Every structure is written in C-alpha cells, then in structure tokens.
C-alpha cells in the first residue's frame, strides 16, 4: 500500500484570522470554507501542501504552553509539526520579514542535508520550512 501525503490538520484560534494569515504570509489559497457545530472549517492549499483548519468557536481550547517552544514540544510524545519544502529558504525568509513576520527561528542545517527554520502562525503553531541541499555545479541526469 502506497501513501501520499493528503493533508495536515491544525486547530486554530480563529478560522478567519488564520485563513488571512496563511494567505498573507505563505500564499495559500482557500479551497473550502464552511461552518460546523458553531465552529469554522477551512481547507487551504499551495502546491502539494494542503492544510485543514478547524476552530470550535468559544469551545476552542488554548494552545498548551509546551507547544510554544520547539525543543520543549519535541520532548512530549505526540504529533509535532508539518514541514513544508520550499525552493529557496533565504528568499522565503526575506519575503516573510518584508511582510512583517518577526518570530523566525535562526536557520540551521539538517542532519540529513539541507537547511531549515521554524515560524509560528497566528495561533502560535510551529511550522517548519525546509530547503533541500543544493549541490554545486550541474547535475547530469543518467
């Protein structure tokens, strides 16, 4: 059985606020938006990446404190984060700074090659941005 990544699901503080945030900073498009049980739902997409957003209106519970810090969160058993591959991480970061995003983790090198950073969305959810290693010179397809 072969799996394809279909989506990642995030519960957010407020759907409308999050849809605007993902449109503004990451250029996602909304493909579905509706209400259910007094809360909001939206599907946002860009390239191969699809995120399902939920809010539960007044019943939405706050982001646990441990999830605000990358290292603290990683120690806790459970689902941690979504990593989006981008073509040019430096260009991406420059664009985020220009748009006013300030909470951007210092770029680090991944143990398996490539470079990554983490940003926080408007609900405080950590999202990883990753650029694979760019090899010098030309790559010949064999």
Partner 1 sequence: MKYSFHHGTLSVRDLLRSVAFYEQLNFRTVLNWEADDGSLQITHLKNGPFILELFCYAASVEPPDSIHSIITDLPVIGTKHLALEVDDINVARDDFIKKGIIADEIQITQGRTGISYFFIPDPDGILIEIVEDKREV
* Exposed/middle/buried for residue 22 (C-beta within 10 Å: 0-12, 13-18, 19+): buried
**CA atoms of 106 and 109, how far apart (whole Å):** 10
Q: Within 29-68, which residues bind partner 1 (CB under 8 A)?
A: 31-32, 34, 36, 41, 43, 46-49, 52, 54, 56, 59-64, 66-67
User: Is residue 104 involved in binding partner 1 (CB under 8 A)?
Assistant: no
User: Is residue 81 involved in binding partner 1 (CB under 8 A)?
Assistant: yes
Candidate residues 98, 112, 135, 136; the one interacting with partner 1 per rule CB under 8 A? 112
Which residues, at least 6 apart from 136, have a Cβ–Cβ distance to it below 8 Å? Answer: none
Q: Kindly report the backbone phi and psi dihedral angles of residue 35, in degrees, each rounded to the nearest multiple of 5, phi listed first.
A: -110, 150
Q: Are 65 and 73 in contact (CB under 8 A)?
A: no
User: Is residue 4 involved in binding partner 1 (CB under 8 A)?
Assistant: yes
Which parts of this chain interact with partner 1 (CB under 8 A)? 1-13, 26, 31-32, 34, 36, 41, 43, 46-49, 52, 54, 56, 59-64, 66-67, 74-88, 91-92, 111-112, 123-126, 128, 130
């Amino acid at each position: 059985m072969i799996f394809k990544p279909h989506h990642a699901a995030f519960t957010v503080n407020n759907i409308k606020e999050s849809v605007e945030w993902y449109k503004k900073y990451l250029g996602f498009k909304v493909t579905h938006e509706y209400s259910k049980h007094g809360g909001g739902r939206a599907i946002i997409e860009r390239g191969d990446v699809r995120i399902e957003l939920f809010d539960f209106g007044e019943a939405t519970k706050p982001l646990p404190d441990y999830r605000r810090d990358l290292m603290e969160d990683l120690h806790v058993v459970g689902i941690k984060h979504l990593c989006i591959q981008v073509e040019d991480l430096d260009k991406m970061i420059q664009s985020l700074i220009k748009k006013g995003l300030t909470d951007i983790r210092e770029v680090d090198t991944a143990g398996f090659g490539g470079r990554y950073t983490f940003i926080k969305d408007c609900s405080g959810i950590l999202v990883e941005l990753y650029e694979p290693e760019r090899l010098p010179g030309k790559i010949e397809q064999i």
